[in-house]
Structure 1
Amino acid sequence: MDMKRLHRRHALSLLGGAAAVGATGSAFAQAEPPKPAQLVVNHSGGSMGTAMRKAFFNGFEKKYGIKVVETSPVDFGKLRAMVDSGNVEWDLTEIGGQDAIRAGKANLLEKIDTKVVDRSKYPATAQNPYVFASSVYTTIMGFRNDVFKNGSQPKSWADWWDVKKFPGARSMRNHPTDNLEFALIADGVPKDKLYPIDFDRAFKKLDQIKPHITVWWSTGQQPAQLLLDKEVVLATGWNGRFYDIIKKGAPVGIEWSEGALKQGSFAIPRGAKSPYWANKMLAELAIPQQQAVYASELGYPGLNLESLNFVDPKVKPFLPTAYLDQQFWISDEWYAENGTKAAELWNAWMLKKG
């Protein structure tokens, strides 16, 4: 074999080797990371945890062979401490709306991998690059339907404020969120013009309804129980709490008009041990059929709008995603910046007589 032919064969051999390495490298880059033995998901616990286990976690374990370990409670301070120390115990954590905004700005969260998590069927309000909108709930009017019969209940916040036309004891939450917005809507402010909130106008309107609120509730179960016990005939509350007693036969109805929508959210802490598999869990939470199971349990649907197609027709009327056009979104961004001031003004207002 002459030297030219030998050199040519050697060159081709090198090129072939390089191509093989390139192909191997590409395949390696696209391969899934090794599966961890477990994935730690932090959430609120209680009935929510039970529903998540049924709708999402059992299926994830069966699909991937990864054990889902659940912890609680949700704690923003602990999240920050974990990330700052570099010792992150959670792969995924539930996080409140305002805290999610704060965490994103403080660089405490990993970016969601859009190649793994499909949110193409989600509304624009649920497309935050660092926060996954896992569910939606709304603060709405609940009413005794043996008092307000045949659709005679208040159908707007202006009606709620009209105590002559719609008499009876009322209950509202002891918190500025929702109430400031409801007051402004009752005073004629359009739902899409609420922010920035005009504190003076809102509290002036709240002064009118304050004497007619017999209970200011502070826990989610309270308004439903107040209606059950006939202590009030009208109460603001979270839709899932009303849904729970309605499906058990309580004489309670829901008015969806002008409800205040909020997202339940999950995020991946920055520095999480298994971010790829945490994204896989988010992908599981985005499956519409699984969201339908969760919604049927709690009345809090996911924001994949296709999930409504898989919900029992008897359940659909109790889900806020069936009435999105009638409601408005609470601005987590505004409260992240102004929530402290709103709380201070609210507490001072509550101490006032009248």
Structure 2
Amino acid sequence: MSTQRLLIPFIATILVTTACGSATSGEEPRAVPSDKITLAWQTIGGETMNQQAKSIQEPFTAKTGVKFDNVSSPTYISQLQTMVEAGKTIWDVVHTGSYLANAYCGTLFEKVDTSRMPATLVPEGTTTECSVPGIKFASEFAYDTTAYKGTVPTKVADFFDTKTFPGKRVIYTNPKGTLEVALVADGVPPDKLYPLDVERALRKLDTVKSDIIFAPSYTALQQNLVSKQATMTLTTGNRLSIINDSGGTMAPVWDFTSWDYANWLIPKGAPHAKAAEDAIVFALEPAQLIKYAAMSGDAPVRTDVDPNTIPYSESAKLFNPFLTSGSGTMVRQDNKFWAENVAEVTKKWTAWQVG
């Protein structure tokens, strides 16, 4: 799937050095005119793809002549692993979460020159040799305002109180963010969450399992809330903004919120690794991050960019915990824990979900 490719009326004079074939082919690099390069850029698709095209790719094309071919792939890690193991990587940039950057730096992802990136302007522990984070997002608890009148949910424990707050709860089929909420609701102090007690979290979730709808995609989760099939959810703030813009009537519960961040990484053996790094450096500049944040409802990780100055829509402001309006207790998800334990946690989660 490709975004619109911008045509420029002149031949770009900037040359980007890139290797023939893969970045690890061992061949001597040669200079390729930047307007002859097309970067294969992976995202999960949907609005994310369109937002990155508008805020990052089109300006970079206008500046350098480098074009983009967007790839929508929700199962990108397994695909990337197959490519790398076969020595046939065809992607140049992958958009992914923090724990995968930690888990696969140097094996599935290329190391980069982080001195070109704002590595000193992000929270400690968020960088790797392969990445500097770009955008942060939150996992939030929200409810349908038309379902509850008078007494409304005010804390994450209310997600598990089906007597006071009856109705279906819809969650995405991913344990990350959900297990944290379950443990806090069960009495674990937010600053003592990690390492996660997965069995305890699942026992807590088991108390409302019959009232949970497991959505296989964010689109399905959105449909459940807009159509009023569910009255509560645990999902990302940017998704909640989209839901309300699509006819939803959701409100956030600012009690406990966990957050994570996303990276742009270069796959091992990327065909155009140098141009890909240039594009990532460009993406991490304030102008591009601000534009992307305003469109997505997320916030830049850079500490020198104040999210309160970003021109968010009203729905994005409503679900954005990074603004000064207040968002309860905020905890950053432990990317080291998730990097080391994601396979085992996912196995337990899946067994619980289908059991």
Band the TM-score falls in, shorter-chain normalisation: 0.7 to 0.9
Is the Cα–Cα contact under 8 Å of residues 223 and 236 in structure 1 kept in the other structure?
A: no
- Alpha-carbon deviation of 1:271? 3.6
Q: Between Structure 1 and Structure 2, which shows a larger proportion of helix residues?
A: 1
Is the Cα–Cα contact under 8 Å of residues 97 and 265 in structure 1 kept in the other structure?
A: yes
CA distance in 2 between counterparts of 1:137 and 1:235 reads 16
Q: Does 1:107 align with 2:107?
A: yes
Q: Does 1:296 align with 2:297?
A: no
Identity among equivalent pairs (%): 25
Q: Residues 88 and 324 of structure 1: is their aligned pair in 2 closer, same or farther, counting only changes over 3 Å?
A: farther
Alignment length (residue pairs): 319
1:58-77 superposed matches below 5 A: 58-73=58-73, 75-77=76-78
| Letter paired with 2:109 | L
- Alpha-carbon deviation of 1:223? 3.0
SS at match of 1:243: helix
Q: Residues 49 and 311 of structure 1: is their aligned pair in 2 closer, same or farther, counting only changes over 3 Å?
A: same
Q: What is the TM-score of this pair, normalised by structure 2?
A: 0.78
Stretches of structure 1 that go unaligned for 5 or more consecutive residues are 1-30
Asked which structure has the greater CA Rg, the reply is 1
Tell me the residue number matched to 1:27. none
SS at match of 1:43: strand
Q: Does 1:276 align with 2:279?
A: no
Is the Cα–Cα contact under 8 Å of residues 136 and 298 in structure 2 kept in the other structure?
A: yes
Q: What is the TM-score of this pair, normalised by structure 1?
A: 0.78
CA distance in 2 between counterparts of 1:271 and 1:292 reads 30
Q: Does 1:180 align with 2:174?
A: no
Tell me the residue number matched to 2:11. none
CA distance in 1 between counterparts of 2:125 and 2:318 reads 22
- Alpha-carbon deviation of 1:57? 0.6
Q: Which runs of 4+ in 1 moved over 6 A?
A: none
1:79-94 superposed matches below 5 A: 79-94=80-95
CA distance in 1 between counterparts of 2:318 and 2:119 reads 24
Tell me the residue number matched to 2:283. 285
Q: Residues 297 and 347 of structure 1: is their aligned pair in 2 closer, same or farther, counting only changes over 3 Å?
A: same
Q: Residues 252 and 263 of structure 1: is their aligned pair in 2 closer, same or farther, counting only changes over 3 Å?
A: same
SS at match of 2:218: coil
**Aligned Cα RMSD in Å?**
2.9
Is the Cα–Cα contact under 8 Å of residues 101 and 128 in structure 2 kept in the other structure?
A: no
CA distance in 1 between counterparts of 2:264 and 2:149 reads 40
SS at match of 1:192: helix
1:139-150 superposed matches below 5 A: 139-148=139-148
SS at match of 2:121: coil
Is the Cα–Cα contact under 8 Å of residues 288 and 310 in structure 1 kept in the other structure?
A: no
CA distance in 1 between counterparts of 2:219 and 2:125 reads 28
Tell me the residue number matched to 2:130. 130
SS at match of 2:207: helix
Q: Residues 95 and 146 of structure 1: is their aligned pair in 2 closer, same or farther, counting only changes over 3 Å?
A: closer
Is the Cα–Cα contact under 8 Å of residues 137 and 261 in structure 2 kept in the other structure?
A: yes
CA distance in 2 between counterparts of 1:175 and 1:72 reads 19
Stretches of structure 2 that go unaligned for 5 or more consecutive residues are 1-14, 18-30
| Letter paired with 2:335 | D
Q: Residues 291 and 307 of structure 1: is their aligned pair in 2 closer, same or farther, counting only changes over 3 Å?
A: farther
- Alpha-carbon deviation of 1:273? 4.2
Q: Indicate the larger mover: 325-334 or 59-68.
A: 325-334
Q: Does 1:340 align with 2:343?
A: yes
Q: Indicate the larger mover: 50-59 or 217-226.
A: 217-226
Q: Residues 207 and 302 of structure 1: is their aligned pair in 2 closer, same or farther, counting only changes over 3 Å?
A: same
CA distance in 1 between counterparts of 2:200 and 2:80 reads 37
* 1:24-71 Cα shifts (integer Å, max 9, x gaps): xxxxxxx97445321413212332111111101111011122223333
Q: Indicate the larger mover: 133-142 or 316-325.
A: 316-325
Is the Cα–Cα contact under 8 Å of residues 291 and 307 in structure 1 kept in the other structure?
A: no
* 1:221-252 Cα shifts (integer Å, max 9, x gaps): 23332222222221222222210132345322
Q: Residues 236 and 89 of structure 1: is their aligned pair in 2 closer, same or farther, counting only changes over 3 Å?
A: same
- Alpha-carbon deviation of 1:205? 2.0
* 1:185-204 Cα shifts (integer Å, max 9, x gaps): 11111122112222332233
CA distance in 2 between counterparts of 1:278 and 1:128 reads 17
CA distance in 2 between counterparts of 1:332 and 1:348 reads 23
Q: Residues 116 and 191 of structure 1: is their aligned pair in 2 closer, same or farther, counting only changes over 3 Å?
A: same
Q: Residues 62 and 43 of structure 1: is their aligned pair in 2 closer, same or farther, counting only changes over 3 Å?
A: same
SS at match of 2:176: helix
- Alpha-carbon deviation of 1:127? 2.0
SS at match of 1:327: strand
